[in-house]
Structures are given as structure tokens and as C-alpha cells.
Amino acid sequence: MTPDRRTLLALFSIAFGLRILYAAVIGTNPDFNPLPLTYDFRTAVRIHDNFDWFSEPFSPSPPGYILSLAAVFRALGPKLWTALLLGAFCGGVTTLFLYRIGEKRLGAGVGLLASVWLGVSVAHMQFAAIVISDVFVTLLFTWMVYAMVMQSGKPRAAAWAGLLFVLVIHTKPEFLLLFPILLVYFLFFSTRHRILNVQHAFLLVTFVIVLSLPWLTRNYAVYKEFVPISLTAERYTTHLFDRDSAEAPGGTNATTAAGFWSNTVEYWRVARFRESPADPRTGRTAEPAWSTLHNIIGVINFGVLLPFFLFGVALAIYQRQRYALIVTGAVLCHYLMSAFTFANETTRLPSEPLIIVLAMYGLLHIFRSLRARTATAS
């Protein structure tokens, strides 16, 4: 086994093993997770049991994570630990993509530090121990940025971006808001040649349309309307399941009613020392204060990163480092999408690996600059 493969195996083993350990000690504790069999889990079990879901109104939820979970159930059995293994696996693979982005594109050591940081992140362990789609979409989003960075300027970048974007929007449909930005990137910035850019943009659009056809066909057969992703199908199927959703005045869903500033604060939140009362005007629900342990974890996991992340963004812009700019653009686009829709601690999860790698990019630049000055002075 080569040294490179040993490094990859070690990084995956750390991330995967810690997530399994966290799930075993804390994640399956009733005090931490009193309802481990989530809506996604129960829906995946029903899909595993029969194929009626394909031809009848079955679930208003996006199909990406649920179908992937049902496929894993088919192989390993519909058990809670099967779902937890999938979450741990997604976390482990995400660290590998992050390692490659840093190692190959942002400088020696960036990928290693970023992947280790993500691997030991308690916040990501916590979400991996809950059977929800957020860790899965984090993997897909990181993978999509990895493909754009590693295959930058090549047709394969547009093809992979199209494939992974379809998987992302079928897991978190709100990511569809980012498609115009993705299209603009390939149309104007993927290469320096206008004709090649048009070809890449055409390839992206083709992949997105073609790969969306199966689910669109299924939804047309079930609902008699063209519904490319299942978010718009909720109005047909909400009555099939009782789902917990807070309602704001006027009958609008509270998760889409909060304002841009409120969502921005929640997206970048590091700690919550005081409880936050509900605000009917914005649709923001009440939030209890975090425990001391939760606040400490938030400060270490995310707060320490923020100044280095901001420096990494500034450095990418100043140096015009193409690959760092792609990662920066992905983070900022995800933040803007969340600020205009809905944001909380969970919402930030898909872009946190990219925030980590930019923070390490800035941190190592500071370290190298200080070392160079020390060597010059001596």
C-alpha cells in the first residue's frame, strides 16, 4: 500500500470510527435522541418493504436520501444501526474529498489539517448520529465542489457537476436556487475560451435535464403534473403523513418566513447563551439557550475557524487563486441561498467542510509567512 493510500485509509478510519463511537455512546442514548426512528427512517423502511411508492402518492419528502437509505436497508437490513453506518460512511468519505481539494489545489498540509478537523468535529458526529439527510447532502455538495475544483476547465467537471447537482436537489430541493449561478460559472468562467464554456454549460444543462426525467416521469404518472422535484409535490401529499411543522400567521410555513438578517445570524451562529423567544412577525420559532457544553463545542468547532476563514477568503481574492475562489464561491452561494430561505445550525452543515478548508488555507499562509520572517531575521 502506497503512503498516499495509507493516509486516505487513516483519515477515513478516524472519521468513520469516531462517528460510530459517538453514535454508540451518545447518539443512541434516549436522553440525546428520544425519537431515533425519524420520518426519513420510517419512510425508507416502507420503501424497503414494497414498491407501491413508485406508482402511488407516498411521501412528500425529497427522494435522494430516502431512496439511498432504502437501498442500504435492502443490503444490510432495515435497522437503526444500518442508517447510522450510512451516516458514518458519508462523514468518512467527505473527509477524503476535503483532503484532496486541499492537498492538490490549495497547498501542502491544507487538506490534511482540514480533513482531520472535519473528522474530529463533534457537530458533524452529532448529525451523523441522527437519521436525517443533512450529512448525506454534505457529502454530495462537497463532492460536487471537489469535481469542479479537480476537473476545472474540463468537460468532466460539467458532467460531474450535473450528475451531483441532480442528486443534491433530489435530497435538498432548495439547492435548485443555485442552478443559475452554476450555469453562469460554466458559461463564463470555467475556461478562457468562449466556445468551450458554451459546450460545458450545454453539457451541464443536458445532464441535469436528462437525469431529472425519471423522477419527473414518476411524478407525472402519480400526480398528472410535471413535477421535476418532490418539493412541489407536497401540496398533493401533505395529508398522507402527520409532520411536525410550525405555522406562522396567515398559514405560511415558519421555516420559510424568517427574514434575511435573522437567517444570516442563525447561519453563522457560534453560541446561544440566552433563549430566543418566538417572533410571529418573522416566523422564527422559539429556541432554548444552549448548554455550556454545547456552547463550548460550538466555539471550538466553528468559532475558532471564522477569523481564519475570513482571512482565507481575502487571500483567495487577493492572490486570485482560482481553486480557492471556486470554494469561496460555493460557500457564499450556499450562505445566500440559506439566508433567503431558512437557516439554523443544521442548514450550515453542507458548506462547513468548505469553510474548514478555506480556514486552513488562511491559517497555513499565516504560519508560512511568520516562519519566513523568522528565517529572514535570523
List pLDDT tens digits, range 139-150. 999 999 999 999
Q: pLDDT-based confidence at 284, cuts 50/70/90?
A: confident
pLDDT at residue 27 greater than cutoff 90: no
Model pLDDT, residue 206: 94
CA dist., res. 153 & res. 98, Å (int)? 20
CA dist., res. 376 & res. 121, Å (int)? 37
3-state secondary structure of 189: coil
pLDDT at residue 75 greater than cutoff 70: yes
CA dist., res. 203 & res. 163, Å (int)? 10
Q: pLDDT-based confidence at 84, cuts 50/70/90?
A: very high
Q: Which of 111, 50, 116, 40 is nearest to 82 (CA)?
A: 40
CA dist., res. 15 & res. 89, Å (int)? 8
Residue 312 contacts residue 354 (beta carbons within 8 Å)? no
CA dist., res. 183 & res. 40, Å (int)? 31
pLDDT at residue 64 greater than cutoff 70: yes
- Tell me the domain boundaries of the chain: 3-235+258-377
What's the mean pLDDT in 195-207?
93
Model pLDDT, residue 18: 95
Which residues, other chains included, contact 304 with Cβ-Cβ below 8 Å and sequence gap of 6+? none
| Cα–Cα–Cα angle for 145, 147, 151, rounded to 5 degrees | 125
pLDDT at residue 339 greater than cutoff 70: yes
pLDDT at residue 92 greater than cutoff 60: yes
Q: pLDDT-based confidence at 374, cuts 50/70/90?
A: confident
Model pLDDT, residue 184: 94
Predicted TM-score (pTM) of this structure: 0.89
H or E stretch covering 143 = helix 134-150
Distances in Å between the Cα of 76 and the Cα atoms of 65, 66, 86, 191 are 16, 15, 11, 44
Model pLDDT, residue 248: 37
Least confident of 58-62, 119-123, 235-239, 319-323: 235-239
What percentage of the chain has pLDDT greater than the value 70?
A: 89
What's the mean pLDDT in 7-11?
94
Other beta carbons within 10 Å of 63: 20
Phi and psi dihedrals of 107, rounded to 5? 115, 150
**63/199: higher pLDDT:** 199
